[in-house]
Amino acid sequence: MFSNITKIADLKDNVEKTVTIGGWVYHSRPGGKVIFLVVRDGSGLCQCIIEKTAVPEELFSQLAHLSMESSLTLTGTVRADDRSVGGYELAVTDAKILCPSQDYPITPKSHGIDFLLKNRHLHLRSQMPWCIGRIRHTLVNAIRQFFNDNGFTLVDTPIFTGIAGEEAGSLFEVDYFGLPANLTQTGQLHLECAALSYGRVYCFGPTFRAEKSKTRRHLTEFWMVEPEVTFIDLPGLLEIAENFVSFIIKKVLETNRAELQTLGANIASLEKIQPPFYRLTYTQASEILTSQKAQDFLAAQLNEFKTAKQETENKIAALEAESKGAIKQWRKDKIASELIDLRIELGELDTKIENNPKHAKLAAEFKWGEDLGGSDETLISLMHDKPVFVTHYPREAKAFYMKQDSENPKVVQNFDMLAPAGFGEIIGGSMREDSYDKLLAKIIEHKYKIENYQWYLDLRKYGSVPHGGFGLGVERTLAWLTGEKHIRQCIAFPRMMDKILK
């Protein structure tokens, strides 16, 4: 029945031909003689023009009353028109209404985030999540392509595991037929086994962290890609990571420029992302945090926030005054929607103004030995226009499997990659401890059960070689690329500490 449906994205190949499209009403402007319906079909938007004389009278009347998100098919002639959304329009000669949508809860006016999350099953159709989802699709393909093209073998690591890969405190425990087990926090430990079989491997799947954290950077279920490489050193790993990140950004820029534009992403800054990235040791990063330069940077930011707050307040006052006057209803509605956005913006600016002195204090009081916190990462990342590698963290602050540095035993051969412009960490990685005795000592220090890790220790017993890898979080990377403030928008059905939705 629907074998003859043409995608809106393919209208460009059908100019002056008669086609049928199938989709949902995105916007409707009914008039007495002509109806303008903007229809979306998942591949794009198309303006459909329905003249009263071109269709039966009853159909014209039904189409004139169609509300947002009603589903239908429309048949007509494709016309090229630069002024039209998408560049093509359909002069309709026939239509079939499939399911009228009464009182669709999401309207073009702004809604609060809680409302949108509650209605995520419908919100996925809106333009912002749609654009983000398209970019995610490209990103995931690009990730796979990079590793497939560079001699890596895909290995699917388990989701139920019996060990902790990262912080034991962030394990989701499950009852596995009466035995204790947990959901994986990382595929890395299993991947290390596979690396000693294939040489270069990667895994890509969902990972779970029971972190009691409600920040914009944390989900309890997120997707991570993890490569693992044998016969490599830390500089070699950094090189793979910067080539990888540059490649996936290039692919997104090539494929999704329109979506990035719609989302208001900073395309110019993404175009600059090419190797080499900045390299700082943890010690250098801690010196930056405690420097006068950092304090001056934060003070300048505070001034910018205050100016922006004043401007926003002025805009709100002007719109409120206008809305009290004798104006048309459509203008009143428009102002109401603008005011919602401006008040959200004002709230965000207030939070930034409130947090700024806290960040300044945290930075000034930073002590060598602590892990970099979210605010420290944000500051370092704000001060750079390209990603920054921070390497050689204190051994005590990091995971048990990271390789002790041979020159400075207090630090490990690891790195985090911080995305620029305040987005913070998107990659964590390291060389792995390949000495049996050092690894055993760390497992004992963490009070892990040795018998649970014996298989992992075995890798250091039978033909151990220098090896390392890293993990990139898909949602955090997507938040950076799209300019989204919160990673909950970067996965179709987000799972957060305080919410399981749907």
Name the site residues for ligand 4AD (rule: CB under 6 A): 165-166, 186, 188, 209, 211, 218-219, 222, 224, 226, 425-430, 469-473, 475-476, 487
Report the b/e string of 397-412 with b at 16+ CB within 10 A. Answer: ebbbbbbbbeeeeebb
Q: Are the beta carbons of 132 and 482 closer than 8 angstroms?
A: yes
Distance CA(333)–CA(108), nearest Å, equals 10
Distance CA(24)–CA(43), nearest Å, equals 12
Residue 369 CB, shortest distance to ligand 4AD, in Å, is 18
Give 298 or 412: the residue with its C-beta nearer to ligand 4AD.
412
Report the b/e string of 139-159 with b at 16+ CB within 10 A. Answer: bbebbeebbeeeebeebebee
Residue 131 CB, shortest distance to ligand 4AD, in Å, is 20
Residue 424 CB, shortest distance to ligand 4AD, in Å, is 9
Give 159 or 319: the residue with its C-beta nearer to ligand 4AD.
159
Give 100 or 133: the residue with its C-beta nearer to ligand 4AD.
133
Q: How many CB atoms are closer than 10 A to CB 201?
A: 26
Give 44 or 429: the residue with its C-beta nearer to ligand 4AD.
429
Give 26 or 393: the residue with its C-beta nearer to ligand 4AD.
393
Give 84 or 170: the residue with its C-beta nearer to ligand 4AD.
170
Residue 468 CB, shortest distance to ligand 4AD, in Å, is 8
Residue 225 CB, shortest distance to ligand 4AD, in Å, is 9
From 28, 44, 42, select the one nearest 92 (Cα to Cα).
Answer: 28
Give 76 or 424: the residue with its C-beta nearer to ligand 4AD.
424
Residue 265 CB, shortest distance to ligand 4AD, in Å, is 18
Burial class (CB in 10 A: 0-12, 13-18, 19+), 440: middle
Report the b/e string of 375-396 with b at 16+ CB within 10 A. Answer: bbbbbbbbbbebbbbbbbbbbe
Residue 427 CB, shortest distance to ligand 4AD, in Å, is 5
3-class secondary structure per residue, 266-293: CHHHHHCCCCCCEEEEHHHHHHHHCCHH
